Chain A
Amino acid sequence: MKGKPVSEDHLPPSAFRSPPPNTARIPTDFGFERSSSRLPIASVQTVNKELVALISKHKRGFFLVAALQFVTVASALVIPRTFGNLLGQLGKNPQKANISLTVTIVATALVVQTIFSYWTKVKASVLGEFVLSSLRERFLERVVELPPNVVERAGSGELLSRTTTDIDHITWAVRDAFPIITISLVEIASIFIAIAFTAPIFIAVVMIGAPVIFAVTRRYLRKSPQAYRVESSSYALMNSVLVESAESGRTIDALRLGEDRIERSDSALGRWIEWERYTLRLRTAWFPFVEMSYIFPLGVVLLVGAYFYNLGTMTIAQITASLLYAQMAIDPLEGMLWWIDELQGGKASLSRLLGIHEIQEREIRISEPDGFEVRGEEIRYGYKKDRDVLNGISFIIEPGTRVAIVGPSGAGKSTLGKLLAGIQPPRSGTVTVGGSEVGYLPVEQTRGHVALVTQEHHIFVGTLRENISLANADATDEEIWEALVAVDAHLWARELVAGLETPVGIGGTRLLPPQAQQVALARLVLADPHTLILDEATSLLDQRSARHLEASLNSVLEGRTVIAIAHRLQSAHDADIIAVIEDGKISEWGSHAALMKADGPYATLWKSWRDES
């Protein structure tokens, strides 16, 4: 990973206890350590490269905007020139001055400028919005491909703040800063050309401010990107505190942690303020020098102009026009520098967005599964380096078998489920479906072969139809209803106000957790893979409803391979094969009857579950 260590939003809790750092220390001490589990942040170089690539990709658009802006500025520049000429004439021989011609030219120029300015800005926005939407979409495409373990380790709040706050920041920057900077650059260049045509000597004069602007701006830009990056991280932290408070309201209330939340939120706020103040200090050391550099050339133009006027080599018209030009340049210059500053915030966010692309991609091995057999060989996997959760598991599951995985919690059942579904490949050993290693299959290929539903349920923003048809976008109404019937969800789904079109999820009808589990299973039915992995997929339903659901699901899933992880041994009892996992190993493998006869761990578990022991 390239890039310097930069703070992240997920500060250790100790950060809350200590008071925010003294601002005076901040410039040298960016504070927080970078842990390997955080999501990467793209380096400045990567961001710049990406920006250049963006611009060159939309060359034509940029060129069009620049050309339109050139016309806009050119017509604007006609005005001081014409006015300067008028002043010149008035100065020499007032009676000969053609005022109405000047007014006509200025009026025409004004109309052209207005029309082209409108046109430029519209085109610039169209371009900006286009760039923005593709940036946004590309980012999200990458997010859904991320290896889940990376996201989990970094915390989803981290990714969430990138998808929301950072995208918003970039929207700001692209929507305003990009067009204005482009437009301003063209404007400044045009003004210089105009000055060169009026009186070339003044180019040098107007440029006297440049070295100062350059020097202070460079100094500023050396410090500001980092600072803005931390600032937006601290803003994100503030948000995650609030999100947690809002989502865990009940728990916080029960634990009487209200005051503690206020303290946490105030402390995060304090940190953000510290950073706001620091970036404000940076700007304080930058703005005034830049602004002085605007006004300074005006005086020098006058002095130099007077010298040449006395020599007789320059007219009042030339001096006036140049003076007005130099003054006209202030606006675009100021605008540009202001937005370069704003762009820092955008760039900081961009580096966080692009950081996502630096996460190592999942390794893909193209192969076509042949047959439906699920096979595991010497599977080992662990979350910590020195401790495996699965210690060498091997098995063969014939197509159409219904397998129940049971065992004490924490024994590695869910981990095995994830590996079987190809969410991740094992650390060593292989998990194959039809001979292909499922952990390395491309996502779009895995679907259709294996699917996993866990106890974690999530209802997406959108209608009930959109929620279910995620698994199969072309599903007809009939197919969706069949899927709902298969999971016993048709009863309540029929009662919904707008049927399949009822908005559910955030802001819509709230589905109860058991209903959410049914929706998850309906998705699975619609996805129709030959191998299904159910990890406590009915745990939130009461026992009787769960049994009923399993029965109706079984009739739909006839002939499919179903691997169910359940602590409700009911499902195990009905399965063809029961695999008992203890301490990361398969300790027993066989049918209910066989295992009861063997009187081993399963038999004990069964008796204890039935309260017979």
Chain B
Amino acid sequence: MDSLPFYEPGVPNISSPFAFLLWIARNQLKVILFGSVFGILSIASLAVMPGFLGRAIQAIADHDPSALTRWVLIIFALGIAQSIAGVLRHRWAVASWIIAATRLKQIIARKASNLGADLPRLISTGEVVSVNNNDVERMARGFDNIPRLIGSVLSFIFVAIVLIRSSPTIGLIVILGVPLMALAIAPIIGPLQEREAEQRKKLGHSTNLASDTVAGLRVLRGIGGEEAFIQRFKIASQEVRAAAVRTARTRSLLQALQIVLPGVFVLIVIYAGGNLVVEGRMKVGELLSFYGYSAFLVLPLRVMTETAQRMTSAAVSARRVIALLSVSTLNHWGGNESPDGNALLKDEVSGIEIHPRELLVIVSEDPVIADELSDRLGGYVDAEKVTLGDYSLIEFSRDAIRRTIYSQEKEPAILSGTIGSIFSVPNSGRLSIDEAIDAASARNILDSLEGEGLDAEVVERGRTLSGGERQRLALARTLYVDAPIVILDDPTSAVDAHTETRIALRLSEVRAGRTTVIFSNSPLILDRADRVEFILNGAIQEQGTHHELLLRSQRYRELVMRGA
């Protein structure tokens, strides 16, 4: 465990759940083997115990103190051996579990990073979290039972042999009986797991509702919807309860069977063994041992059913993890690493062309179309429909495109941390953080935060900041990154007119000589544009300067002119 987390968790075989589980097992074979050795030792010392207890009782009955001492000493030794082997088994089992969980979590984190912008489009956060926690845990738990299983199977064989040697009939009954019982129990495992799955689903729903409360707390508070929401949560919570009780019924049945079935052995041993003693073919002490052995059989039976349960749920979870790992990115990027940041950027769908080093403002009647266009130009969707110079975006590597084109979405995320950590991103080095902050008129935000300067703390996703503050902070970050081509989707929608005017001015200064595209219908921004494209229903309607368009197009005027 010393080398955890892995430097490189490896590439799993995800062709099938079984292959996946096997791949993990093969990667930690040593740990599983060590665990199994101690598993065998600890369970075996339990298995042989009845033999010595019986001999000791016999020694008491025979008034043989030296024999008694011998057996009692062996019992003490076995106790010590068992406890040490037991804790070592536990350690290796936990290690096995942690190693498997770590590897899986690392693989998932890498997958998430690989999917990048596609992740929130393709999979809900709740789903990712639930796979990363519940399914990983269930898969990992499939491994920590292996030492116990191996120990149990071997002990079972040992007990069967001992019994056969003393009494072939009893021995045979046991050796055939235990597997038969396991088979008898098997039909319950299916329904039990179905009910468990149902229960998990219900629990998932109630957890979703609960986390929703947190996310929407302010909304609830504003509208006074707390009570209605709590009512909904209570219904969900009661459904979880009902499902859990149903599961408990089946599980209790399974556990009751685990008592009564081995009990049958005890009955057989008492009856057959008792008669053997009566016939003088068995000693009293031996009968006690027999009784002990048959009572011991509860353990292997329990471990076997438990393992079967864990293995099935590990397989189910493996399938879910595989589903997550098999999600592929929307774009299949090429390998060209050297895009030209001063080339013509062209959207084949709308026909829009972005000339090098210009400040282009795109006016769209429909904001949804603007969002789509901004995603496309940034290479987030349909990258094959956009060209940069002579190449389609898709021919470049993803990293090369992100380095060259920075497309800021409408509501960019502010990652938690300090101002300093928000700005610790790859950047051109042309602007200092202070310059970027000033260009976005974001200086006064820092004053309202805990901590000074770059150490000022921003709470998670900037939730305490107002929409305008978040917008300015994100803009400052974008300007700091200073990509050759910057695309901004309505970057000033939540700031007041004075601030917007300032931002428009400084933005055009800071971006001078570099390519910038802004989606905005604000005259304050349009005023600064080198060129304006007016799109309607996704196609270019008009282009020219702001003032040309104002004169030329009635529709444009209606859209951008403000006031009564």
Contacts and interface: CB of A to CB of B under 8 A. Distances in A.
Contacts of A533: 222
Contacts of B207: 163-164, 167-168
A121 B252 CA distance: 6
Interface in A436-466: 443-444, 446-448, 451-458, 460-462, 466
Contacts of A86: 270, 274
A218 B7 CA distance: 39
A148 B448 CA distance: 18
B98 A114 contact: no
Given A117-B255, A156-B217, A249-B120, A87 B287 contact: yes
Contact of A148 (B217, B232, B259, B416): B217
Interface stretch (B127-135, B165-173, B310-318, B534-542): B127-135
A295 interface: yes
B284 A242 contact: no
B120 A250 contact: yes
A273 B126 CA distance: 23
Interface string B201-232: 00101111111111111111111111111111
A253 interface: yes
Contacts of B497: 567, 569, 605-606, 608-609
Interface string B329-364: 000000000000000000000000000000000000
Given A99-B274, A540-B493, 12 more contacts: A90-B284, A110-B259, A125-B245, A140-B233, A167-B207, A414-B466, A451-B224, A460-B212, A472-B228, A507-B126, A523-B225, A541-B367
A103 B5 contact: no
Interface stretch (A50-58, A277-285, A395-403, A479-487): A277-285
Contact of A140 (B63, B117, B210, B472): B210
Contacts of B226: 144-145, 443
A506 B213 CA distance: 13
Contacts of B222: 421, 423, 451-454, 533
Interface stretch (B23-31, B86-94, B428-436): B86-94
Contacts of A145: 226
- B5, B90, B421, B527: residue with the most chain A Cβ atoms closer than 10 Å: B5
Contact of B214 (A126, A163, A251, A512): A163
Nearest to A459: B216
Contacts of B237: 133, 136-137
B90 A446 contact: no
A230 interface: no
A101 B90 CA distance: 43
Contact count band on A: 35 or more
A305 B63 CA distance: 11
A291 B75 contact: no
B112 A261 contact: yes
Contacts of B467: 455-456, 536, 539
A2 to B, nearest CB: 25
Contact of A175 (B73, B206, B244, B447): B244
A240 B1 CA distance: 24
B521 A542 contact: yes
Contact of B106 (A94, A126, A160, A269): A269
A111 to B, nearest CB: 7
Contacts of B113: 245, 252, 258-259, 261-262
A384 B65 CA distance: 82
A160 B214 contact: yes
B277 A94 contact: yes
B407 A254 contact: yes
A607 to B, nearest CB: 9
Interface in A515-543: 520, 523-524, 527, 533, 536, 539-543
Nearest to B367: A542
A99 B275 contact: yes
> Which 8 residue pairs across A and B have the least CB separation, nearest first?
A447-B224, A295-B79, A125-B248, A253-B116, A470-B225, A248-B413, A291-B83, A609-B497
A540 B260 CA distance: 66
Interface in A482-503: none
B263 A110 contact: yes
Interface in A142-157: 143-146, 148, 151-153, 155-157
B418 A513 contact: no
24 contacts: A97-B274, A114-B257, A114-B260, A122-B248, A125-B245, A132-B244, A144-B226, A151-B217, A160-B211, A164-B210, A242-B128, A244-B460, A246-B129, A290-B83, A295-B76, A451-B222, A454-B219, A462-B232, A507-B208, A543-B521, A569-B563, A608-B498, A609-B497, A611-B562
Interface residues of B, number: 176
Contacts of A242: 108-109, 112, 128-129, 132
Interface string B407-451: 111111101111001000110000000000000000011011010
Contacts of A306: 59-60, 65, 68
Contact of B287 (A90, A296, A460, A543): A90
Contacts of A277: 1, 98
B68 A471 contact: no
Given A122-B248, A544-B559, A451 B223 contact: yes
Contact of B402 (A90, A256, A447, A541): A256
Contact of B412 (A251, A453, A543): A251
A159 interface: yes
B75 A298 contact: yes
A354 B153 CA distance: 45
Given A256-B402, A287-B83, A444-B224, A83 B291 contact: yes
A248 B415 contact: yes
B125 interface: yes
A611 B524 contact: yes
B80 interface: yes
A125 B199 CA distance: 14
A557 to B, nearest CB: 15
Nearest to A110: B263
B119 A249 contact: yes
Contacts of A284: 87, 90-91
